[in-house]
Amino acid sequence: MRVIVSIVIALTLLGCSGHDRPMEVEGIEGEIVQINSNEVIVMSRDLMYEIKVNDATTFEGATISEVEKGQSIKVWYVSEPLDSNPVKATASRIIIR
């Protein structure tokens, strides 16, 4: 009986441990105010956001090298942003409008 319970617990833990894709937190919509090689500074609702981009960040509408100051942007985060000024987060997905 203990063996069966142990197997059930092990299978339950294995089933809960994996994700098919990275976590994604819907973030902000705003206007690009500055562009650097690995980040975009965005103004949204009177707050500044420093959005880091990396190789895992996906883009729609333009790549980081094609974005321009003043364009509208929608960002999804890898995780919840840091509570700082400016707010800091790493982007999982970016849509340029």
Q: What is the pLDDT of residues 4-57, one digit of tens each?
A: 655 656 555 555 545 455 578 889 999 999 998 899 999 999 899 999 999 999
Please give the domain boundaries of the chain with CATH numbers for all domains: 23-96 (2.40.50.140)
Helix, strand, coil share (%) of the chain residues, nearest 5: 15, 45, 40
Token pair of 49 as six digits: 């956001």
Question: Would the pLDDT of 74 be above 90?
Answer: yes
Q: Is 43 strand, coil or helix?
A: strand
> Who contacts 51 (Cβ-Cβ below 8 Å, separation ≥6)?
27, 39, 40, 41, 42, 75, 89, 90, 91, 94
State pTM to two decimals: 0.73
